[in-house]
Amino acid sequence: MPTEACAPGRVELLGNHTDYNQGVVLAAAIDRRLKVSGERQSDGLITLRSLSLGKFEIRRENLRPQSEPPWVNYVLGVVRELLDAGLSIDGFSAEIEGDLPSGCGLSSSAAIEVATTFFLLKLFDATLPPLAIAKLCQRAEHRFVGVRSGLLDQVTSIFGRAGHAVFFDARSEEVRVIPFPPRLALIIAESGKKRELAESFYNQRREETRAATEALGLIALRDISPGELAKRDLPPLLRQRAAHIVGENERVQRALVLLEQNDGPGFGELMNESHESSRQNFENSTAELDCLVEIARDLPGVFGARLTGGGFGGATVTLCESAAAVRIAEELAQVYLRRSGLRSRIFVCAISNGAW
């Protein structure tokens, strides 16, 4: 019987680009997943299949990043990291399937990395602690894909719990699950514009925040308050980038209190503030994302909306009343089509459990 493993995508609620700046983030695992299933092969051959992405084969001894097809690097990078960690990984065949869309800010990359790791650990009778798995997947993305991502996506995919948000402190590596009010719902709306992190401005933004940190003489941008930042001298561009990260860290901390109080309108207002900062300070929004956010905010029953994930295309997340979620999703799709001419896949998102 084939071995299988499954990992969810994630929606970032607050804490945009803070994880690689030693900051804090709120996210949630979602009910869209990728599954990896297959069997051992004793000849050292690795065979990967996907109905939507095709077939690829490579021998274990020839592991290296591939220019085509690029999706296989998320799998091969994990294999390389497991081998480097001393695990005995032989050849295998694996089929990848699922309903998690790629390129829209829901972290399909982390999902395939995490699902592959869980699959291979089961297949070759090995174990690793959950946080070690997250870090291994992150290294695979850094070294094989070339995206210097933070750790949020992998952590959320692994530690997610149904009905709970995931709080992650990237400095202390604290992971905590926090009850999410059941009267609130999340709507994911794809903008229709794909995002390619490795070829976009993601790494550039990382360099800009690093430059701001060094210019301020800090260990990380979490070590300064918005008031203190306003008093410091910085080039305009670096000030904008720093203001976004510093503000996001503060919004996450405020959101923790609001979740305890079941304050949906207050949480939604923080999401609105976050998107405005993404648009003005971090410049990682797009016309399509802004349009979705603007439409959502005007619909009755909506508390807030923002881009989710790295930005530069992708998707938005809208916080609303559960009872009105289906109606809001339908109206959002209709109005967005009229305004943009783009058909957006929009769905009400259930908060789910993590990988297995």
335: β partners: none
The closest alpha carbon to 168, from 27, 351, 333, belongs to 27
Residue 263: phi and psi, rounded to 5, are: -95, 90
CA atoms within 13 A on the CB side of 160: 31
Q: How far apart are CA 16 and CA 271, in angstroms?
A: 10
Tokens 């051959």: give the residue.
45
How does 35-65 read in b/e, with b if 16+ C-beta sit within 10 Å? Answer: bbbbeeeeeeebbbebeeeeebebebeeeee
Structure tokens at 181: 């009010």
What is the DSSP-derived secondary structure letter of residue 346? E
Tokens 């530069």: give the residue.
312
Q: Which of 19, 153, 263, 298 is catalytic?
A: 153
How many angstroms separate the most distant Cα atoms in the chain?
Answer: 63
Tell me the Cα Rg of the chain: 20
Residue 295: phi and psi, rounded to 5, are: -65, -50
Non-local CB neighbours of 181 within 8 Å, separated by 6+ positions: 259, 262, 264
Does residue 90 carry a catalytic annotation? no
Active site residues per annotation: 153
